[in-house]
Amino acid sequence: MLLVIVEEDAGGVSAASLEAVTCARHLAEGTGLDLHAAAFGAHGDLAAGLSKYGVSTLHLVTSDATQEYSPELWGAALAELVEHTGVTGVLAASTDRGNELLANAAASADQPFASNCVAIEPGDPWNLTRQRGGGILLEDAELSGRVKLASLVPGSVEISEATTTHEVDVLEFVPAPRATMPHSVIVDRTSRGSGVSLATARVVVSGGRGVGSAEGFAPLEELAELLGGAVGCSRVATNNGWRSHSDQVGLTGTKIGAELYIACGISGATQHWVGCMGAKTILAINTDPEAPLVARADYAVIGDVQEVLGAVLERVRARRAAA
């Protein structure tokens, strides 16, 4: 049996988790194993969202100790679920939470964990390709163990449905209480505001030094809203106080897998490239034709960011009005 950890987004299964489910189904079909899923603290109808993707059973981990996120408690609970179900492999999306959860579970169960994979092939051992050095290097490796744990980088797999659909059985799993176990607790929450999440947005419009100021992000925000996307930024914009760190795309920020990434006035240093290289299509707008991101982008417009965006917004508004 294979188990995939699913995360919730807006009451349903997140896109990154559906990629992990697709990959796990490929592994399960290649080895003749059943595919199960597990969720912590879920509130939406995840079973309905998984019925089209080959999952036969959803395990809801429920207890007072796991209602709020704690990597140590969730990791120990997952290790207990692994022993309870007898699974031979566990997958999750390579999000901050997915990596942290699997790392703690692997340590608790004394089993191997490979993070940030971009490809996993069935067999014993698993043959996988994973990102190293923040995504600059790719490593071919083998993963062997009684239970194999791996996380999949969002944007690595195209989401696909199973050939057949069926109702997903839902089972509650109550882990043993661990009141005395040292663990992290959430002491405060900061709302990210309304709108699309940067990590899951299909379109991301980012600004860097070339935007010029915090006020210079106004056309980027309008374009992102018109395209149903999210606004990001480079580390320079964060360091200058123009945007919060939660908007930063890069090695020390968010790694995106958008369908379209529009980089406005961003030179594209290595640490930023690591965050945006998972995008399917990259459009760079820059006054410097020699900027690294201009050279790496699928499309580039050489010109002033504000002038180019002004023309783009005029055209998008006109098309929306005509529609």
249 is in an annotated binding site: yes
State the Cα–Cα distance between residues 145 and 122, nearest whole angstrom: 14
Q: Which residues pair with 93 in a beta bridge?
A: 152
What SS3 state is found at 30? helix
If you average pLDDT over residues 40-52, what whole number do you get? Answer: 84
Residue 10 pLDDT grade (very low, low, confident, very high; cuts 50, 70, 90):
confident
251 is in an annotated binding site: yes
In the 8-state DSSP scheme, what is residue 6?
-
286 is in an annotated binding site: yes
What SS3 state is found at 280? coil
If you average pLDDT over residues 65-76, what whole number do you get? Answer: 91
If you average pLDDT over residues 176-189, what whole number do you get? Answer: 85
Higher per-residue pLDDT: 132 or 25: 25
Q: What is the pLDDT of residues 244-274, one digit of tens each?
A: 998 999 988 888 889 999 999 999 998 899 8
Place of tokens 């580039």: 300
Q: What is the pLDDT of residue 195?
A: 65
Q: What is the pLDDT of residue 50?
A: 93
49 is in an annotated binding site: no
Name the superfamily (CATH) of residues 203-322: TPP-binding domain (3.40.50.1220)
296 is in an annotated binding site: no
If you average pLDDT over residues 199-217, what whole number do you get? Answer: 94
Q: What is the pLDDT of residue 175?
A: 93
94 is in an annotated binding site: no
163 is in an annotated binding site: no
306 is in an annotated binding site: no
Contact 153, 116 (CB under 8 A): yes
Higher per-residue pLDDT: 231 or 164: 231
155 is in an annotated binding site: no
Q: For the chain, give the mean pLDDT.
A: 92
Residue 132 pLDDT grade (very low, low, confident, very high; cuts 50, 70, 90):
confident
Q: What is the pLDDT of residue 109?
A: 96
270 is in an annotated binding site: yes
271 is in an annotated binding site: yes
302 is in an annotated binding site: no
Higher per-residue pLDDT: 43 or 93: 93
Least confident of 118-127, 178-187, 212-221, 266-275: 178-187
Q: What is the pLDDT of residue 193?
A: 60
Write 135-140 long-range contacts (CB < 8 A, 24+): 135/251, 135/255, 135/274, 135/277, 136/270, 136/274
Q: Do domains 2-173 and 203-322 have the same CATH topology?
A: yes
Question: How many percent of the chain have pLDDT more than 70?
Answer: 98
State the Cα–Cα distance between residues 249 and 261, nearest whole angstrom: 11
Query: Domain 2-173's class?
Result: alpha beta
Q: How many CB atoms lie within 10 A of CB 9?
A: 17
pTM of this prediction? Answer: 0.77
Q: What is the pLDDT of residue 144?
A: 96
88 is in an annotated binding site: no
70 is in an annotated binding site: no
Least confident of 43-47, 170-174, 292-296, 306-310: 43-47
Question: How many percent of the chain have pLDDT more than 90?
Answer: 72
Q: What is the pLDDT of residue 135?
A: 74
Over 70: is that where the pLDDT of 292 sits? Answer: yes
User: In the chain, where are the structural domains located?
Assistant: 2-173, 203-322
Residue 134 pLDDT grade (very low, low, confident, very high; cuts 50, 70, 90):
confident
265 is in an annotated binding site: yes
